[in-house]
Structure 1
């Protein structure tokens, strides 16, 4: 499994951002190998972390070819003050249960 951790400092969002963001999320959900996402908001700042879960690097790369996703990446300065993307392979996960609604795979 692969995780894409999208860390961002939000700027000003307009209607075009929301339309593009919705289209990108739909494209991710339509990509074979997409498992889900989780979002966290920092309690002491406006920073946001969004973690996307993917079955494989091939699935992630397939999503990366989406035209809306490419267009949004080119226009990030219009909507974010800063961003950082980390792609990592999960070697192992373990722990206790968080409950039925906690899994990004639900």
Structure 2
């Protein structure tokens, strides 16, 4: 499994951003191997952290080839003040106590 952590400092979102963001999320959900996402908002700043869960690197690369996703990456300066993407391969997971719907992995 792979995690893509998208850390962002939001800027100004316009209608086009929201339309593109919705299209990208729909594409992710339709991509075989997409497992889900979780979002956190920093309590002391505007920073947002979104973690996407992927079954394989092939699934992630398939999503990355999407035209809307590529277009959004080229236009990031219009909507974000800063961003960082980290791709991580998961070697092991274990959990206790978060409940049935706490993680896309459950």
TM-score w.r.t. the length of structure 2 is 0.97
Q: After TM superposition, which residue ranges in structure 1, 4 or more long, deviate above 2 angstroms?
A: none
Aligned residues: 106
Give the corresponding residue for 2:48.
48
* Unmatched runs of 5 consecutive residues or more in structure 2: none
- Report the RMSD for the aligned CA atoms in angstroms: 0.9
- Gap regions ≥5 residues in structure 1: none
Provide Cα deviations, 1:22-66, integer angstroms capped at 9, x if missing partner. 000000000000000000000000000000000000000000000
Q: CA deviation at 1:104?
A: 2.0
Q: What is the alpha-carbon distance in structure 2 between the residues aligned to residue 95 and residue 71 of structure 1?
A: 37
Instruction: Give the drift of 1:101.
Output: 2.1
TM-score by length of 1: 0.97
Q: Does the residue aligned with 1:51 lie in a helix, a strand or coil?
A: strand
Following TM superposition, by how much is the alpha carbon of 1:103 offset from its aligned partner in structure 2, in angstroms? 1.7
Provide the C-alpha distance between the structure 2 equivalents of 1:65 and 1:97, rounded to a whole number of angstroms.
Answer: 37
